[in-house]
Structure 1
Amino acid sequence: MNTSNREKLSLNEKIKEHGELIAALASGIIILIAWRLNVAGLETASVIAYLTAFVIGGFAKAKEGIEDTIADKRLNVELLMILAAVGSAIIGYWAEGAILIFIFAVSGALETYAMNKSHREISALMAMQPEEAWLVRDHLEPVKVSIDTLELGDYLLIKPGERVPADGVIVKGTSSIDEAAISGEPIPVSKNIGDEVFAGTVNLNGLITMEMTKPNNETLFQKIIALVQSAQSEKSPSQQFIEKFEGTYVNVVLITVAVMMFLPHFALGWDWTTTFYRAMVLLVVASPCALVASIMPATLAAISNGAKQGILFKGGLHLEHLSVLNVLAVDKTGTLTQGKPVVTDMIVRPDLDEKTTLHALASIEAQSNHPLAQAITRYAREQQVGEFTQPAIEDVPGWGIKATIQQHHYTVGKPEFVGKDEAAQFANHAADRLAQEGKTVIFMKDEQGIAALVALKDTVRQEAKDAVAALKQLGVKVVMLTGDNEKTAHVIAQEAGVDEYVAECLPETKVTYIKQYLASDKFVGMVGDGINDAPALATATTGIAMGEGTDVALETADMVLMKNDLSKIAYAIKLSRKMQRIVKQNIIFSISVIALLIISNFLQVVDLPLGVIGHEGSTILVILNGLRMLRKQD
């Protein structure tokens, strides 16, 4: 396919995706033209233009309303809006009917666009799953095959830099595995023979062979995808209530209009013209135009306000849920913390110079792409130790590095690699104390023994501490869900000031806890930035993604913090609570006006022009009230 054809296809896809919105905007332009034609005295041309606006703007919603009515075997608001517009036209009020269609078409187009966006994260997840694997059989050369052909018990070769194609256990080799896709933790995990590996994770440096222990459709990665799909298919309580109210409202209005077209003639002695006229007035004044305007302008204004502050909402329903948030669950890595390990402590043997020792250690670590090694080299540059040398090194995957600098031999890595007992006793058992503080400890050994230790930690963001405090002031309980071990989780939780924490969480564990909080607290938010957070983000009432997070987290979430600033969550809650107050004011006002106009119509004290003025006037007032949401919140 050439570039021109690809561009045409892309354009056609965009037109198809945004077709409803394009049609709604086109109908709005035609309405303006029709109004100008009417002002110029060209009534016939004006009516034709209004009819065109009816067809273009109302086609999609009319089709949807008819199809849903047939499928669900019950009437809906789409049909009511179309009938109200037709009723306006029947009694000669073309502009009112066309505007009614336009407002409803715009809101429907925005809803459709948001729904289309919400299904894209599954594609992003699937892209992380390898499609091929190196199959090893009968001591022959590895053969690349499709993962669909793999069977339980197959032996798979995984080269450095490749993704693990299936769940299984290592049977040969050692390596460091980046499990961020599963656990969200930035520090790779050392894997040896007998250790589990998961599909979608990345083999960093060693050549390993694994035995497949689970079918492709039962891998942890596939479970993440299934959890996202399941959570998205569940309707919120608010959505269920709205749908129930919609059906009741439509039935009541249509039944009342049908009765009005006959009963007053026989019961009250009205002539047929008056009876039909009053029924049409009722259909116009009872249309939910003001009710729609009660919510949409305030919601769009709030969304616009949030966007200016770096907060992106994916729809008004999420704003509604945020206003009643009771619990906020947060991921640790990249959310409460920086997401990158930094050096916090360095202890050098008394007979050595600290700067010289750091220079030697950094020269060795500069040869590695391991996140801990990169943190040490960054620290050394900050300490200005000078240009690094290039020692001869031997990388031992999963353990550490052996190096030679000017005939001096060094070993750098975990305690088991440099000598567990010696490492434990170094500097008066400093490693134990540092481990209790949730830090990862790396040792450097020379010919005389342990030369130094370096402690590293993923540090808590200052803005995260402030954000947690602000959320607690708003009455929101903050809970940390992390894949870290108990010690690290406890230290980070204390530093961040969260109310509760849960350690050693896999994606399934996070979803389990989110569901528990949903059962007890009803409205629960989840903040995350990794693929592993996607199921929990989708399960929570409000999923909140960090702007620098993975595409999957961004697509799954209901709200995105573009600047990775947790304090914006408190701002968003204040914004949503104000929006809810305005929406309630608008709904009460619009329903009161509709009720007043309906009663006045029964009493024959309001005619169609006054009914239209009351109906459209109430719509304008609720829109203006909703636009107050554009103001910045304190």
Structure 2
Amino acid sequence: MATNFKARRTNPRSGDRRQARKKAKTINKWLYLRAMKDAFVKLNPKYAIKNPVIFVVWVATIIILLLTIDPNLFGPALQKNPQVFNGLLSGILFFTVWFANFAEAIAQGRGKAQADALRLTKSEAIAKKLAADGIISEVSSTSLRQGDNIYVIAGDIIPADGEVIMGIASVDESAITGESAPVLKESGSDVASSVTGGTRIISDELIIRITHDPGKGFIDRMIVLVEGAERSKTPNEIALTVLLAVLSLVFLLVVVTLPALAYYVNSPVSVPVLIALLVALIPTTIGGLLSTIGIAGMDRVAQFNVIATSGRAVEACGDVNTLVLDKTGTITLGNRLAEEFIPINGHSISEIANVAWAASVFDNTPEGKSIARLAEKLGARFDFDFNQAEGVDFSAKTRMSGTNLPGGYEARKGAVEAIKEFVRSRNGRDTPELDATYERVSRLGGTPLAVSLDNEIYGIVYLKDIVKPGIRDRFLALRRMGVDTIMVTGDNGITASVIAKEAGVDDFIAEATPEDKISFIKKEQATGKLVAMTGDGTNDAPALAQANVGVAMNTGTQAAKEAANMVDLDSDPTKLIDIISIGKQLLITRGALTIFSIANDIAKYFAIIPVIFVAANLQSLNFMNLTSPNSAVLSALIYNALIIPAFIPLALKGVRFSPLTANQLLQRNILIYGLGGVIAPFIAIKLIDLLITVVGLA
């Protein structure tokens, strides 16, 4: 097994490709062999009883086996060569149960293979523990506890999950993400300070504070989740299991009443035939593949480099009505960069550049650094003692940042309304020129930041952002699926409306605070909608926890990752669009196979019912013209057994998904799987009947 989830994305040379194919075949061989073994283990009644439909088949197998030993156990045997017939019947029923177990074991085996690959990234390492007095001591990584500080240098394996509290360095995260490009980690960054145990530092040095005790880290949780050892059934899966159990009970009642009807028309029916009819009628296809579909859904999410905390989260994606997305990095290309300084109130370019540089000198965000670079390019300089200056960090409430300069001066940059309030609080005033410039930049789709020094506004910084190519088409596909897209941004209303129109989202929330996000999510949920959102910062954690589906970025903070129910290892916020498609595909696959399984009953009913009334000479019922009663029963049950392994690839891969509404998907599935489920078994059962006749089993 490859040691990461993204081996499939590489583009090896021809020789490497052949080697990769050979390795994949070996992996699949062992995967299937292990699944075959596990399928026998799952025959244990303690396990079998968890699946009501397959358990009925399991009990039927035991009864038919007893009838093979003693055909007269429940009365006179009515078949020709009853022991041979019953023996064949018990063998077919056994393989029906085994095929269902094999399907589930294959899905679980893929998860175990991923877990084994992840375990390779875990190894006991020597950690350099940093004491409060600065003394470094070497200890085992298993002895580290939450709150401990460690020191790592280039070449070291990071021994446990943590947060960078000092330093800046490049980290190789390929063992987790599969990406060979190093990731920059630094202290003080909301989205670049989190590190994962098992990754390797490849330059410089860091001091890290441990955030998880041994066995509770990110990789440990990933292993448990992808292995599926603690998988619990999802609400829809439970509901469908109950429905299948009820259907099985209904068919049981139907079968129980048939002997009386057969006796009335002088056509006695044997117990093996009644059991065969029951097994043929109950929805064994979906019953045998139900668990496989759920496990495979989580596996498909994992193949997208996303770790889901439960099948419930994946399933919820299929029912999502509203998708909440941050503008920057999701809808637009990413970090907004300073494009231009626009002076107002009689100030010059050099003056606004000086103030903007002063307000950004302590700002380590990409935006702040781009403003400082542009100011330096324009020759900005501001003479002050750095040791006497103090940086003011950006906050969602103040919506501005800056520097407190020596002498009591205050340089600030931020949202125009926030700077207006700041200036007014210091007896300053804004001008119509500010509003006109602000509106001009906003209508260009840019983000305007006002720059001030004390009580005077010097001008506007034009931050440029570009909508991602193709994002409009993706939102259109979501709209066809009935999912509303909501853009959340800290930008002003004009900028937000321009970007929203260009991107094609349904609505937007401008100048949003963390409280605004939670309020909107709760409002949507109050109307019965399911809401999904992405986030990476600590400020996003409450909204991620409130959303029905919260996807945190791997580069995000520990708070965000623990609040969400999915973590994207690639840190690609648009991945949520793909996850929703997988969730919907999961539900569609389950529905399609349920329709197919129930539709199959029509053919199987017409194959076996004539057998029950054969003594009454009701030959018109045998319109399939099956060779003999024994052949009819065996043909129906052989088809019933073989259809399970035939649909294993579909259960693992999922039904082909198209961005359609729920009604359109239902109509398509009824047409394809409903009609196909009626026609296919008539053809297959007749062909099996002919084959049985040729080999002389009839």
SS of structure 1 residue aligned to 2:430: helix
Q: Equivalent residues in 2 for 1:261-276 (5 A)? A: 275-276=270-271
Q: Would the aligned equivalents of 1:545 and 1:553 in 2 still touch at CA under 8 Å?
A: yes
Match of 2:124 in 1: none
- Give the Å deviation of 1:618: 3.5
Match of 2:635 in 1: 610
Q: Name the CA distance, whole Å, in 1 between partners of 2:305 and 2:447.
A: 33
- Give the Å deviation of 1:615: 1.3
Match of 2:403 in 1: 401
Match of 1:43 in 2: none
Q: Would the aligned equivalents of 1:546 and 1:561 in 2 still touch at CA under 8 Å?
A: yes
Q: Which of the numbers 99, 103, 110 marks the counterpart of 2:100?
A: 103
Match of 2:127 in 1: none
- Give the Å deviation of 1:501: 3.5
1:527 partnered with 2:536? no
Match of 2:574 in 1: 565
Q: Which amino acid aligns with 2:246?
A: T
Q: Would the aligned equivalents of 2:234 and 2:311 in 1 still touch at CA under 8 Å?
A: no
TM-superposition CA deviations, 1:152-189 (whole Å, max 9, x none): xxxxxxxxx89xxxxxxxxxxxxxxx9989xxxxxxxx
SS of structure 2 residue aligned to 1:424: coil
Q: Which amino acid aligns with 1:392?
A: D
Q: Would the aligned equivalents of 1:529 and 1:550 in 2 still touch at CA under 8 Å?
A: no
Match of 1:242 in 2: 240
TM-superposition CA deviations, 1:219-277 (whole Å, max 9, x none): xxxxxxxxxxxxx99975x45641441331232344456667x7589667777xx6232
Relative to the length of structure 2, the TM-score reads 0.49
Q: Which of the numbers 425, 441, 453 marks the counterpart of 2:449?
A: 441
Deviates more, 1:97-106 or 1:567-576: 567-576
Q: Name the CA distance, whole Å, in 2 between partners of 1:546 and 1:526.
A: 14
Q: Name the CA distance, whole Å, in 2 between partners of 1:265 and 1:283.
A: 16
Q: Name the CA distance, whole Å, in 2 between partners of 1:434 and 1:577.
A: 47
Q: Would the aligned equivalents of 1:321 and 1:542 in 2 still touch at CA under 8 Å?
A: yes
Q: Would the aligned equivalents of 1:365 and 1:376 in 2 still touch at CA under 8 Å?
A: yes
- Give the Å deviation of 1:395: 0.9
Q: Name the CA distance, whole Å, in 2 between partners of 1:286 and 1:466.
A: 44
- Give the Å deviation of 1:433: 3.9
Q: Name the CA distance, whole Å, in 1 between partners of 2:466 and 2:562.
A: 23
Q: Which amino acid aligns with 2:449?
A: V
Q: Name the CA distance, whole Å, in 2 between partners of 1:55 and 1:311.
A: 30
Percent identity reads: 21
1:413 partnered with 2:412? yes
Alignment CA distance shift 1:417-1:251 (3 Å): closer
Q: Which of the numbers 470, 477, 484 marks the counterpart of 2:484?
A: 477
TM-superposition CA deviations, 1:549-568 (whole Å, max 9, x none): 56655884479695433664
Q: Equivalent residues in 2 for 1:299-378 (5 A)? A: 326-332=321-327, 334-337=329-332, 340-348=335-343, 354=349, 358=353, 361-362=356-357, 365-369=360-364, 373-377=368-372
TM-superposition CA deviations, 1:27-62 (whole Å, max 9, x none): 74349xxxxxxxxxxxxxxxxxxxxx6555435523
Match of 2:169 in 1: none
SS of structure 1 residue aligned to 2:270: helix
Alignment CA distance shift 1:315-1:259 (3 Å): farther
- Give the Å deviation of 1:443: 2.0
Q: Which amino acid aligns with 2:403?
A: I
Match of 1:392 in 2: 385
Q: Would the aligned equivalents of 1:87 and 1:283 in 2 still touch at CA under 8 Å?
A: no
Q: Would the aligned equivalents of 2:554 and 2:568 in 1 still touch at CA under 8 Å?
A: yes
Match of 1:454 in 2: 461
Q: Would the aligned equivalents of 1:548 and 1:564 in 2 still touch at CA under 8 Å?
A: no
Match of 2:593 in 1: 583
Q: Name the CA distance, whole Å, in 2 between partners of 1:535 and 1:240.
A: 29
Q: Which amino acid aligns with 1:79?
A: F
Match of 1:595 in 2: 605
Alignment CA distance shift 1:246-1:266 (3 Å): same
Q: Would the aligned equivalents of 1:337 and 1:459 in 2 still touch at CA under 8 Å?
A: yes
- Give the Å deviation of 1:455: 4.6
Q: Which of the numbers 253, 275, 283 marks the counterpart of 1:280?
A: 275
Match of 2:47 in 1: 61
Q: Equivalent residues in 2 for 1:61-100 (5 A)? A: 61-62=47-48, 64=50, 76-77=52-53, 79-87=55-63, 89-90=65-66, 91-92=86-87, 93-94=90-91, 96-100=93-97
Alignment CA distance shift 1:86-1:623 (3 Å): same
Q: Which amino acid aligns with 1:443?
A: V
Q: Name the CA distance, whole Å, in 2 between partners of 1:233 and 1:103.
A: 18
SS of structure 2 residue aligned to 1:609: helix
- Give the Å deviation of 1:492: 5.0
- Give the Å deviation of 1:487: 6.7
Q: Name the CA distance, whole Å, in 2 between partners of 1:630 and 1:515.
A: 29
- Give the Å deviation of 1:401: 1.6
Gaps of 5+ in 2: 1-30, 67-85, 115-164, 167-187, 192-230, 394-400, 414-418, 615-628, 660-698
Alignment CA distance shift 1:590-1:527 (3 Å): farther
Q: Which amino acid aligns with 1:441?
A: L
Q: Would the aligned equivalents of 1:320 and 1:580 in 2 still touch at CA under 8 Å?
A: no
Alignment CA distance shift 1:628-1:533 (3 Å): same
Q: Which amino acid aligns with 1:500?
A: D
Alignment CA distance shift 1:250-1:429 (3 Å): closer
- Give the Å deviation of 1:421: 5.8
Root-mean-square deviation (Å): 5.8
Q: Would the aligned equivalents of 1:84 and 1:283 in 2 still touch at CA under 8 Å?
A: no
Q: Would the aligned equivalents of 2:321 and 2:484 in 1 still touch at CA under 8 Å?
A: yes
Q: Would the aligned equivalents of 2:391 and 2:402 in 1 still touch at CA under 8 Å?
A: yes
- Give the Å deviation of 1:528: 1.6
State the number of aligned residues. Answer: 460
Deviates more, 1:277-286 or 1:290-299: 290-299
TM-superposition CA deviations, 1:432-464 (whole Å, max 9, x none): 547977946342549x97655425477654554
Q: Name the CA distance, whole Å, in 2 between partners of 1:388 and 1:599.
A: 94
Q: Would the aligned equivalents of 2:322 and 2:486 in 1 still touch at CA under 8 Å?
A: yes
Q: Name the CA distance, whole Å, in 1 between partners of 2:63 and 2:34.
A: 19
Q: Name the CA distance, whole Å, in 2 between partners of 1:508 and 1:428.
A: 32
Q: Equivalent residues in 2 for 1:477-496 (5 A)? A: 477-480=484-487, 493-496=500-503
Gaps of 5+ in 1: 1-23, 32-52, 66-75, 118-160, 163-177, 182-231
TM-superposition CA deviations, 1:38-89 (whole Å, max 9, x none): xxxxxxxxxxxxxxx6555435523646xxxxxxxxxx43632432443454
Relative to the length of structure 1, the TM-score reads 0.54
SS of structure 1 residue aligned to 2:368: helix
Q: Would the aligned equivalents of 1:326 and 1:475 in 2 still touch at CA under 8 Å?
A: yes
Q: Equivalent residues in 2 for 1:106-185 (5 A)? A: 106-107=103-104
